[in-house]
């Protein structure tokens, strides 16, 4: 029996009460920059590379905020057939915080026509947008308390929309 699990790293980048998110479908949904760990990389290496590819920003990876597990059978295959685990870190911008055009844009695997566009989103707007995964409560607690104790989260998390 063979078992495959996708491991990814993602970064929460916050500056001046704004967070970077990739916007899909003209606001249909948003997600946190990041992606799969490639051979020869650590998870933190993948976070730096993915954020650079998707936003053009150079970041330093900080503390682990949460780990998110997706198991397809338990989630009605909402994100495909491959189980994955994502490690999400707090990241800090090195130098200029101007978003540049992605060198490798984030693409929706189920609909390749939906391509992510990185944007600085005011934290005050987070409750009003659909972001995947919907980690609103955990993210807001992290931002309000500034506590860096990692949390383990299992999908599915559902928006209150």
Mean pLDDT within 151-158: 58
12-50 pLDDT per residue, tens = 999 999 999 999 888 888 889 999 999 999 999 999 999
- 161 pLDDT band, cuts 50/70/90, is very low
Q: Tell me what pLDDT residue 129 has.
A: 87
| 63 occurs within a structural domain | yes
Mean pLDDT within 152-159: 56
Q: Tell me what pLDDT residue 54 has.
A: 92
List the one residue out of 72, 66, 55, 43 whose CA is nearest residue 136.
66
**Average pLDDT over all residues of the chain:** 82
Q: Tell me what pLDDT residue 137 has.
A: 75
| Number of folded domains that form the chain | 1
Two structure tokens written together for 141: 């607690």
Two structure tokens written together for 79: 């994100």
Two structure tokens written together for 16: 């001046």
Rounded to an integer, what distance in angstroms lies between the CA atom of residue 87 and that of residue 75? 19
| 24 occurs within a structural domain | yes
- Give yes or no for a contact between 125 and 47, defined as CB atoms under 8 angstroms apart: no
| 159 occurs within a structural domain | no
Q: Which residue has the tokens 């970077």?
A: 20
| 160 occurs within a structural domain | no
| 161 occurs within a structural domain | no
- Sort 156 into a burial class: Cβ within 10 Å, 0-12 / 13-18 / 19+: middle
Rounded to an integer, what distance in angstroms lies between the CA atom of residue 151 and that of residue 161? 24
We report the CATH number of the domain holding residue 71 as 3.90.79.10
Structural domain containing residue 18 = 6-154
Rounded to an integer, what distance in angstroms lies between the CA atom of residue 9 and that of residue 17? 23
| 93 occurs within a structural domain | yes
| 1 occurs within a structural domain | no
């Amino acid at each position: 029996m063979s078992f495959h699990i996708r491991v990814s790293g993602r970064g929460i980048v916050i500056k001046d009460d704004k967070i970077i998110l990739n916007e899909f479908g003209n606001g249909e949904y948003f997600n946190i920059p990041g992606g799969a760990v490639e051979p020869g990389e650590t998870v933190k290496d993948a976070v730096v590379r993915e954020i650079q590819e998707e936003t053009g920003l150079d970041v330093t990876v900080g503390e682990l905020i949460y780990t998110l597990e997706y198991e397809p059978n338990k989630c009605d295959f909402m994100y495909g057939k491959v189980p994955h685990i994502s490690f999400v870190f707090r990241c800090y911008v090195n130098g200029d915080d101007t978003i540049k055009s992605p060198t490798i844009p984030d693409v929706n695997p189920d609909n390749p026509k939906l391509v992510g566009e990185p944007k600085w989103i005011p934290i005050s707007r987070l409750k009003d947008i659909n972001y995947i995964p919907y980690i609103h409560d955990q993210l807001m607690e992290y931002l309000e308390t500034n506590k860096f104790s990692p949390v383990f989260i299992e999908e599915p998390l559902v928006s209150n929309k």
